[in-house]
């Protein structure tokens, strides 16, 4: 199926130029995004990523309409590749299924890695300069409140839920999980098997604020791996006694 993604800003609000350039490809379904410069939401893109199936072809006028930067573009291409969906840009003459497209993809990945290395190097230089000035002390550790160890024992014995423990400690469930992940005791170390920031992302997923395609983009992992992480994290919560949270996991879609 031939799909098209068109995005216009509030200043433009006219998608006709992009649509004219794509009509030649026999588009069967259009996803038209009209967004404000002040928002990062792209609901139509998420809808497209959910809708696309193996064998589909997605057309865009140019990459600037699809992604914010090189890293964002690579994440989207990786997601589409995992679903066996082809991406074609009319302006750049880029086709992810062609030999030339695959070569361009390799070059994009190299450019992104180069940009990332430059950013990391600048961060390291900034940290070193801050250390020399005596103003850098690293990320502060979460302060463990009184009664934490006793409540964790109750969690392990399944006599209290994490939700109730967090309430008694006066912290959020996400903060409680982070406390347990940072604690050196083996019982809490299982949380370190998950990507950094996954606990907060999982909470947002439960609240319905983000969906699986958005987690795929953020974590830069294939959908199947993200779904596995969700199932593993849910199982861990049940094992640790947070059944009320685990039971609220939405169905995968």
Residue 158 DSSP SS3: coil
- Of 9, 16, 97, 98, the catalytic one is 9
Residue 42 DSSP SS3: coil
Nearest to 198 by CA among 168, 226, 163: 226
Nearest to 91 by CA among 31, 27, 20: 20
Distance CA 205, CA 212 (A): 8
Whether residue 9 lies in the annotated active site: yes
Residue 15, both tokens? 């998608």
Distance CA 92, CA 80 (A): 18
Q: Got the DSSP string for 127-145?
A: HHHHHHHT----SPPPPPP
User: Would you name the residues annotated as active-site residues?
Assistant: 9
């Amino acid at each position: 199926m031939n799909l098209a993604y068109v995005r216009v800003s509030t200043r433009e609000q006219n998608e006709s130029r992009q649509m004219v350039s794509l009509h030649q490809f026999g588009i069967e379904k259009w996803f038209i995004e009209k967004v404000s410069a002040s928002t990062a939401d792209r609901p139509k893109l998420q809808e497209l990523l959910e809708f696309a199936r193996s064998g589909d072809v997605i057309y865009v006028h140019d990459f600037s309409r699809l992604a914010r930067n090189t890293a964002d573009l690579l994440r989207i291409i990786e997601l589409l590749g995992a679903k066996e969906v082809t991406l074609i840009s009319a302006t750049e003459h880029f086709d992810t299924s062609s030999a030339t497209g695959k070569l361009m993809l390799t070059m994009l990945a190299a450019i992104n890695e180069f940009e990332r290395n430059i950013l990391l190097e600048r961060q390291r230089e900034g940290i070193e300069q801050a250390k020399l000035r005596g103003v850098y002390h690293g990320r502060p550790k979460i302060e463990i409140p009184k009664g934490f160890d006793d409540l964790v024992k109750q969690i392990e014995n399944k006599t209290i839920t994490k939700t109730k423990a967090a309430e008694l400690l006066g912290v959020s469930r996400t903060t409680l999980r982070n406390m347990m992940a940072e604690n050196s005791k083996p019982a809490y170390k299982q949380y370190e098997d998950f990507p950094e920031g996954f606990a907060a992302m999982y909470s947002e997923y439960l609240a319905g604020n983000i969906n699986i395609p958005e987690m795929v983009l953020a974590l830069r992992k294939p959908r199947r791996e993200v779904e596995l992480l969700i199932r593993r994290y849910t199982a861990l919560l049940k094992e640790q006694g947070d059944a009320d949270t685990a039971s609220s996991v939405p169905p995968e879609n």
